[in-house]
C-alpha cells in the first residue's frame, strides 16, 4: 500500500459527557474530527501510511489539533496555518428517541478560506497511491472546491485510485455554485463510489428506491454516466432509535452484487463518524482483500466505531479481523 491522501477541514468537537445537554453542566470534552480526517486516522490505526492536508488556526487551538492528528501517526507536514479560527461544532448526544443534535461554527473558518495556492499538490501526492474526497469539502467554499479539484486532477493524472463519498448536505452550500454540477465535476475524477441511493439520485437526477434491485440498476447507470467509476459501495443503517442501530453493506463492482449480514449494535456509544469509518474500512479492505471481504471489513469497522466516543474510529486491525473471524460476543481479552 502506498500513501493514502485525505484533504478536508479539521473541526474541534465539543460536547458534554454522556447524554447531557450544555444546559446541564459546564464540564465538556473535546475531540477533533472532520469527515476526511476521520477516514485518514482510521486507516492509520489499521497501519496505513496516511497524509492529511488541511489548514488550521495559527494559535494554541490549531497546535492542539495538529498534535491530535500526529498522535495517530498521520503526516501533518502539509497542514498550513491561518489567521482565521479553527471550525468548531457543538454536539449534544441523544438517547433512545431523542436525536443527537449538532450546532456548527465553521463558516469563515481557517479551512473554508483555503485557496489552491496554499497546497503544493505535486509535493503532496508524491508518494500517494490513493486519494479520498467527500461532498463536504466542495460545499464549504469556492476555494475549498477549487483546491480539491486541483488535487483530484493531479491524482488521476498520476493514476492514483480516487474514492468519492459525495454526501450532499444542502445546508452547507452557501456560495455561488450549483452543488450538483460541482459533485459531477469531481466524480469525473473518481474511481470508487462510496454512497447510497440518495447520492446516486442526487447526481443522476433519478429516483431509485432502496431495494437491492434498485441499487444494482442505479449503480449501473452511475457507472455509465461516470466511466471512471469502477465500483459502487453502500452502507445501510437501520435505526430502531438513537441507541440501537443495525449496519450492513452492499456493493456492485460491475460484475456481481454482494451484501453482508446485519451487525446488531444494541448499545450505540457514539454514531458520529461511523460513515467515515465505513469508508476507511473499505479503502483499507480493498487494498488487502477481495471486494466482498472488503465490505465485510468495512461493515465491521463501521459497527465498531459506534462503540467509540469522538469522531474518529479508534478500532485496531485486530479488533476488526476478530469480528470477521466470527467473534462478535465481546469475549474479554487479557
For its own copies, the binding residue among 81, 150, 240, 324 (CB under 8 A) is 240
Which window, 93-101, 184-192, 201-209, 227-235, contacts its own copies (CB under 8 A)? Answer: 93-101
Taking the least distance from each CB to its own copies, the nearer of 88 and 150 is 88
For its own copies, the binding residue among 80, 129, 242, 287 (CB under 8 A) is 242
Give the residue among 43, 122, 110, 48 at the shortest CA–CA distance from 81: 110
Q: Is 105 in the site for its own copies (CB under 8 A)?
A: yes
Q: How many CA atoms lie within 13 A of 212 on its CB side?
A: 10
Site for its own copies in 17-56 (CB under 8 A): 17-31
Supply the minimum distance, in Å, between the C-beta of residue 164 and its own copies: 21
Q: Quick check: 133 and 148 in contact, CB under 8 A?
A: yes
Q: Whole-angstrom Cα distance, residue 33 to residue 283?
A: 18
C-alpha cell at 37: 480526517
For its own copies, the binding residue among 100, 206, 228, 288 (CB under 8 A) is 100
Site for its own copies in 196-235 (CB under 8 A): none
For its own copies, the binding residue among 86, 144, 155, 301 (CB under 8 A) is 86
Taking the least distance from each CB to its own copies, the nearer of 230 and 262 is 262
Taking the least distance from each CB to its own copies, the nearer of 157 and 264 is 264
Site for its own copies in 293-332 (CB under 8 A): 300, 303-304, 306-310, 314-315, 319, 322-323, 328-332
Q: Quick check: 72 and 311 in contact, CB under 8 A?
A: no
- DSSP secondary structure of 304-322: HHTTSSSSS----HHHHHH
Q: Is 162 in the site for its own copies (CB under 8 A)?
A: no
Q: Is 67 in the site for its own copies (CB under 8 A)?
A: yes
Q: How many residues bind its own copies (CB under 8 A)?
A: 84
For its own copies, the binding residue among 42, 243, 253, 260 (CB under 8 A) is 243
Q: What are phi and psi of 193, to 5 degrees?
A: -110, 120
Q: Can you tell me which residue has the cell 492536508?
A: 53
For its own copies, the binding residue among 90, 175, 289, 292 (CB under 8 A) is 90
For its own copies, the binding residue among 181, 241, 254, 256 (CB under 8 A) is 241
Give the residue among 2, 273, 35 at the shortest CA–CA distance from 164: 35
Q: Is 95 in the site for its own copies (CB under 8 A)?
A: yes
Cβ partners under 8 Å of residue 334, min gap 6: none
Q: Is 70 in the site for its own copies (CB under 8 A)?
A: yes
Q: Can you tell me which residue has the cell 477533533?
A: 32
Which window, 124-132, 210-218, 249-257, 259-267, contacts its own copies (CB under 8 A)? Answer: 259-267
Taking the least distance from each CB to its own copies, the nearer of 59 and 230 is 59
235-to-75, 117, 274, 297, 306 alpha-carbon distances in Å: 28, 36, 10, 12, 14
Q: Quick check: 2 and 78 in contact, CB under 8 A?
A: no
Q: Whole-angstrom Cα distance, residue 167 to residue 149?
A: 16
Amino acid at each position: 500500500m502506498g500513501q493514502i491522501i485525505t484533504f478536508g477541514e479539521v473541526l474541534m468537537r465539543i460536547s458534554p459527557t454522556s447524554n447531557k445537554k450544555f444546559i446541564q453542566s459546564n464540564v465538556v470534552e473535546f475531540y477533533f474530527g472532520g469527515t476526511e480526517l476521520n477516514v485518514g486516522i482510521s486507516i492509520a490505526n489499521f497501519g496505513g501510511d496516511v497524509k492529511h492536508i488541511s489548514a488550521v488556526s495559527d494559535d494554541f487551538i490549531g497546535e492542539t489539533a495538529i498534535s491530535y492528528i500526529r498522535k495517530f501517526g498521520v503526516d501533518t507536514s502539509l497542514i498550513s496555518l491561518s489567521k482565521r479560527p479553527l471550525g468548531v461544532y457543538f454536539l449534544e448526544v441523544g438517547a433512545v428517541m431523542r436525536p443527537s443534535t449538532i450546532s456548527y461554527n465553521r463558516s469563515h473558518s481557517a479551512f473554508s478560506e483555503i485557496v489552491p495556492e496554499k497546497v503544493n499538490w505535486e509535493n503532496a501526492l508524491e508518494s500517494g497511491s490513493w486519494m479520498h474526497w467527500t461532498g463536504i469539502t466542495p460545499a464549504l467554499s469556492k476555494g475549498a472546491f477549487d483546491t480539491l479539484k486541483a488535487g483530484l486532477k493531479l491524482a488521476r493524472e498520476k493514476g492514483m485510485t480516487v474514492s468519492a463519498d459525495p454526501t450532499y448536505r444542502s445546508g452547507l452550500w452557501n456560495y455561488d455554485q450549483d452543488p450538483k454540477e460541482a459533485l459531477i465535476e469531481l466524480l469525473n475524477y473518481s474511481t470508487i463510489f462510496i454512497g447510497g441511493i440518495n447520492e446516486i439520485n442526487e447526481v443522476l437526477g433519478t429516483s431509485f428506491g432502496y431495494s437491492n434491485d434498485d441499487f444494482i440498476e442505479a449503480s449501473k447507470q452511475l457507472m455509465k454516466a461516470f466511466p471512471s467509476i469502477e465500483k459502487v459501495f453502500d452502507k445501510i443503517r437501520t435505526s430502531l432509535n438513537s441507541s440501537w442501530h443495525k449496519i450492513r453493506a452492499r456493493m456492485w463492482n460491475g460484475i456481481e452484487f454482494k451484501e453482508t449480514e446485519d451487525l446488531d449494535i444494541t448499545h450505540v456509544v457514539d454514531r458520529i463518524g461511523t460513515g467515515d469509518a465505513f469508508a476507511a474500512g473499505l479503502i483499507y479492505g480493498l487494498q488487502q482483500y477481495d471486494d466482498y471481504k472488503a465490505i465485510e471489513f468495512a461493515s465491521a469497522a463501521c459497527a465498531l466505531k459506534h462503540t467509540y466516543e469522538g469522531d474518529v474510529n479508534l478500532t485496531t486491525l485486530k479488533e476488526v479481523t476478530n469480528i470477521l473471524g466470527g467473534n462478535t460476543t465481546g469475549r474479554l481479552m487479557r
